[in-house]
A and B are shown apart, each in its own frame.
Chain A
Amino acid sequence: AQSVSQHNHHVILSEAASLELGCNYSYGGTVNLFWYVQYPGQHLQLLLKYFSGDPLVKGIKGFEAEFIKSKFSFNLRKPSVQWSDTAEYFCAVSTTGTASKLTFGTGTRLQVTL
């Protein structure tokens, strides 16, 4: 079974700082990778996803993620964070050929200060 690790549990950044959130997965086969965001009091929203092709994926709100197969990683990046990016970020993995079940990481709480 696949698993997902997010090593940063709580990150505090000042506005305009650059962001990188780590995500590593363990699975020997082909995977689909996702980043979801959960703003305070809101539901999970898809930030970006990778199925195949260009390993550098661009999502909404200026976020991007890079799939590095050799490192089993899918780190999320943003060059300059805003206060409105304060939220919980979840990395998730699904394996192809299954019922598209998502396995989530434990989440990273991002706090952006003014």
Chain B
Amino acid sequence: GAVVSQHPSWVICKSGTSVKIECRSLDFQATTMFWYRQFPKQSLMLMATSNEGSKATYEQGVEKDKFLINHASLTLSTLTVTSAHPEDSSFYICSAKPGTSADTQYFGPGTRLTVL
């Protein structure tokens, strides 16, 4: 149980275009989902916390207009990287927290974004 999927697993796009990444909890309802960014050989940095039906809470230094997060249902959150630039190239990982679990997050497989 507690499976989280992400789609796509990798994407290559041109500079200036927008890319949408989906995060789904497959076998549980997730009231809260999180979006992380992982640079090569570095740790995960939390970008934002997404709560179903409300606006996301962004971490300091993360541009909310650039990284649009929507949590439309209890099983789906999306991250849209708008007007992507090469410096946005990274590994984006989502996690989901079941409503009944105090603090355990379950992670998706990640999405590799490459902006040319």
Asked if A102 meets B34 with Cβ closer than 8 Å, knowing A42-B109, A51-B102, the reply is yes
Contact residues in A for B57 (Cβ distance below 8 Å): 99
Inter-subunit contact B43/A90 (CB<8 Å): yes
Chain B positions 66-110 with a Cβ under 8 Å from a chain A Cβ: 93, 95, 97, 102-110
Contact residues in B for A100 (Cβ distance below 8 Å): 32, 97, 102-103, 105
Contact residues in B for A63 (Cβ distance below 8 Å): none
Per-position contact with B for A44-61: 1 when CB-CB < 8 Å, else 0? 111001010000000000
Per-position contact with A for B16-50: 1 when CB-CB < 8 Å, else 0? 00000000000000001010000000111110010
What is the size category of the interface that chain A forms with chain B? 20 to 34
Inter-subunit contact A107/B103 (CB<8 Å): no
Asked if A46 meets B106 with Cβ closer than 8 Å, knowing A101-B34, A104-B43, A106-B43, the reply is yes
Q: Contacts A43-B109, A90-B43, A104-B44 known; list 7 others, CB within 8 Å.
A: A32-B103, A34-B104, A36-B107, A43-B93, A46-B106, A101-B46, A102-B46
Query: In the assembly, what is the distance between CA of A106 and CA of B103, in Å?
Result: 20
Asked if A101 meets B49 with Cβ closer than 8 Å, knowing A51-B103, A90-B44, A106-B43, the reply is yes
Chain A positions 68-112 with a Cβ under 8 Å from a chain B Cβ: 90, 94, 96, 99-107
B71 to chain A, nearest CB (A): 13
Asked if A102 meets B105 with Cβ closer than 8 Å, knowing A43-B110, A90-B43, the reply is yes
Per-position contact with A for B43-64: 1 when CB-CB < 8 Å, else 0? 1111001010000010000000
Interface centre among B43, B93, B95, B102 (most CB of A within 10 A): B43
Query: In the assembly, what is the distance between CA of A56 and CA of B45, in Å?
Result: 28
Query: In the assembly, what is the distance between CA of A49 and CA of B46, in Å?
Result: 19
Residue of B nearest to A109 (CB): B41
Interface centre among B97, B105, B108 (most CB of A within 10 A): B105
